[in-house]
Amino acid sequence: MSGLPDGIERREFDGHERLSTRGEPVYGEPTDGEWRCWDAGRSKLGAMLETGMDVDLSGGESVLYLGAASGTTVSHVADFAGPTYAIEFAPRPVRDLIGVAEDRSNLFPLLKDARKPETYAHIVEADLDLLVQDVATRGQAAVAVNNAQFLADEGQLCLAVKARSEDVTADPETVFEEVREEVAAAYEIVDSRRLEPFHDDHLGIVARKR
């Protein structure tokens, strides 16, 4: 990654330089004035940035975020991005997500299932710059491939793969290789690496839509 985009800075929290974005706090994270610490231990995308993956961001991107949960990571994304569509299928986290969106006019929570993009295709705009996926379900590669329709040509995918969600008994490296092969049907993989020490048995993938 060649530098950080507008809206993300490294600032000192608790004696350590850490990623931060400017916005209203969401999950009790440390703050420094208007800046809020982006905890990579609670964010797969934050871990991808902290481990130096080849994520290409400039700020202001249009985003589809799959697996938004209560808004921990997508709130940071909305702090530096443009229009951000946040997909979450569980009603309870969506209630929290709506609260996060009250402070972010560019964040649009949607109670939808990321495995069924046809249910939100009439809402989410086309030709988006960035697809971020953190969906803990079997078939994570298929979700990424099926949602490629929303990306512009050469739009970027940042995918966090949880091995145990695919097969709790399989060797994670075997799972990761299978996911990479399936993702390559729709994307050119730019970078992939494990997300330790922040997240055990997780793989980060950065790719471009073919």
Residues with Cβ within 8 Å of residue 154, at least 6 apart in sequence? 208, 209
113 marked as part of a ligand binding site: yes
135 is in an annotated binding site: yes
Question: Does 39 carry a binding-site annotation?
Answer: no
Q: Which amino acid is present at 69?
A: A
**72 has binding-site annotation:** yes
Query: Known binder of ligand: residue 134?
Result: yes
Cβ burial of 30 (10 Å; 0-12, 13-18, 19+) is middle
Q: Other CB atoms closer than 10 Å to residue 113's CB: what's the count? A: 16
**Which value, to the nearest 10 degrees, does the dihedral of the CA atoms of residues 6, 160, 41, 106 take?**
40
- Assess contact for 23 and 77: CB atoms under 8 A: no
Q: Is the previous residue joined to 197 through a cis bond, with omega within 30 degrees of 0?
A: yes
Order of strands across the sheet with 187-194?
107-111, 84-88, 63-66, 128-133, 151-162, 202-209, 187-194
Which segments are annotated as binding site?
Answer: 72-73, 88-89, 113-114, 134-137
Which segments are annotated as binding site for S-adenosyl-L-methionine?
Answer: 72-73, 88-89, 113-114, 134-137
